[in-house]
Amino acid sequence: MTTPDFCDHELDLHRLDLRYAGLRLADPRGLERLRQSLERYGQREPCLAVALADRPQLVLLDGYRRVAALQRLGRDTVRVEARAVDLTAGLILALTRAQGRAWAAIEEAWWLQELTAVQGLSQQEVARHCGRDVSWVSRRLTLLHGLSEPLSQALRAGTLSLWSATRVLVPLARANADHAERLLEALSAHPLPTRTLRAWLARYRQARVRERERLVDHPRLFEAALASRAQERIETSLRAGPEGACLRDIQVLEAILTRLHNRLESLSGEPWPESLRRALLRLTGTLAREARTFTRYGRHDHPRDAHRDPHAEGPRGESAADRPSP
């Protein structure tokens, strides 16, 4: 494609056609940072738009966050780079040129879907114009498989994170569409942090039918139970003290050594790699060295500070019991 002619000028905001606003993700924090930057420094980079022969407005292709930030500032105009190309060429140009924030993978997928499903380009043509291979186009479009319209709307509105959509709700929708819709409705009212949602998914995979129903309809209850268990672990740790922590370490070490023993038994009669043999020799030396320490701690009390031990010898060789009371 040849580089088209363009003009860079100030344009009234009402003269922009914002038809592709839904193909970009909402980013409230980024929008606020951009608003502050525009207020302080002004607009540095122009937005990208194309002028269509049959429409008086310019179709905005890139710069939706800049327009939204300017609207928050109460501005009436925006600096626009208007390209004299058709809509298809403009869409490709917006996708390929590096300006502003990086595109998320799902945004690229929505843009590619516009080029293939609406503009009628093949994946091969899109890949050639974008300087990519066909597999990249295909992988991006695969992200949209199982992404229902309510999920897409939640993503665009920023009420659902991309991780939550692609890692939890889309796989769930493929397995159980009803559960995915109900979970999305619950998350729209009360979003869960990514870490909590990851734990929710792990529990859902192991749960039976009745428990899954509760998890889908009341994910906040799962979050509360998770927080309660975490608080219980903290309280238990405080009650047990360092002695309890040592006991847990011993139990974990016993379990690991038992598992290692069983695995080594399964390898008997087979040649071992040299790296495993060396590692086992190092472990044997470490265990032998630490065994003497463990034995000393196990048979006798831990040596205490003489200033804290009531039975320790006094500073002049007399027992603490023979010293006069203060």
The count of other CB atoms within 10 Å of the CB of residue 180 is 22
Residue 196 and residue 163 in contact, taking contact as beta carbons nearer than 8 Å: no
Domain boundary among 219, 240, 267: 267
- 89 and 35 both lie in a single domain: yes
Beta-carbon contacts of 296 under 8 Å, excluding residues fewer than 6 positions away, are none
Q: Is residue 293 part of a domain?
A: no
- 228 and 239 both lie in a single domain: yes
Tell me, what CATH number does 52's domain have? Answer: 3.90.1530.10
- 204 and 132 both lie in a single domain: no
Q: Is residue 326 part of a domain?
A: no
Q: What is the maximum alpha-carbon separation in the chain?
A: 108
- 55 and 126 both lie in a single domain: no
Give the mean model confidence (pLDDT) for residues 29-34: 90
Q: Is residue 179 part of a domain?
A: yes
Q: Is residue 136 part of a domain?
A: yes
- 216 and 234 both lie in a single domain: yes
Domain with 259 in it: 149-267
Domain boundary among 88, 112, 145: 145
- 204 and 229 both lie in a single domain: yes
Strand 6-12 relative to strand 47-51, pairing: unpaired
pLDDT-derived band of residue 162, with 50, 70 and 90 as boundaries?
Answer: confident
Whole-model pTM: value is 0.63
- 141 and 153 both lie in a single domain: no
- Average pLDDT of the chain is 85
Beta-carbon contacts of 25 under 8 Å, excluding residues fewer than 6 positions away, are 104, 106, 107, 155, 156, 158, 162
Angle at 104 (CA atoms; ends 121, 216), nearest 5 degrees: 105
pLDDT computed for residue 7 by the predictor: 75
Residue 39 and residue 73 in contact, taking contact as beta carbons nearer than 8 Å: yes
Q: Is residue 122 part of a domain?
A: yes
Please indicate whether residue 303 or residue 70 has the higher confidence score (pLDDT).
70
For tokens 């799962």, the residue is 222
Q: Is residue 298 part of a domain?
A: no
Instruction: Kindly state the tokens that stand for 246.
Output: 């040592």
Most confident segment among 28-37, 140-149, 233-242: 28-37
Beta-carbon contacts of 220 under 8 Å, excluding residues fewer than 6 positions away, are 186, 190, 192
Give the mean model confidence (pLDDT) for residues 226-235: 85
Distance of alpha carbon 139 from alpha carbon 160, whole angstroms = 22
- 140 and 166 both lie in a single domain: no
Instruction: Kindly state the tokens that stand for 109.
Output: 């997928």
Please indicate whether residue 236 or residue 108 has the higher confidence score (pLDDT).
108
Give the mean model confidence (pLDDT) for residues 156-175: 86
pLDDT-derived band of residue 2, with 50, 70 and 90 as boundaries?
Answer: very low
pLDDT computed for residue 55 by the predictor: 80
Q: Please state, in angstroms and as integers, the Cα–Cα distance from residue 169 to each residue in 86, 146, 200, 229, 234, following that order.
A: 37, 9, 12, 25, 32
pLDDT computed for residue 301 by the predictor: 55
Checking if the pLDDT of 253 tops 60, the result is: yes
Q: Please state, in angstroms and as integers, the Cα–Cα distance from residue 191 to each residue in 158, 160, 167, 232, following that order.
A: 11, 8, 15, 24
- 178 and 215 both lie in a single domain: yes
Number of domains composing the chain: 3
Q: Which of 84, 100, 7, 104 is nearest to 45 (CA)?
A: 100
- 158 and 94 both lie in a single domain: no
User: Is 24 exposed, middle or buried, given 0-12, 13-18 or 19+ CB atoms closer than 10 A?
Assistant: buried
- 138 and 154 both lie in a single domain: no
Q: Is residue 59 part of a domain?
A: yes
Domain boundary among 36, 71, 101: 101
- 136 and 224 both lie in a single domain: no
The count of other CB atoms within 10 Å of the CB of residue 52 is 15
pLDDT-derived band of residue 113, with 50, 70 and 90 as boundaries?
Answer: very high
Q: Is residue 312 part of a domain?
A: no
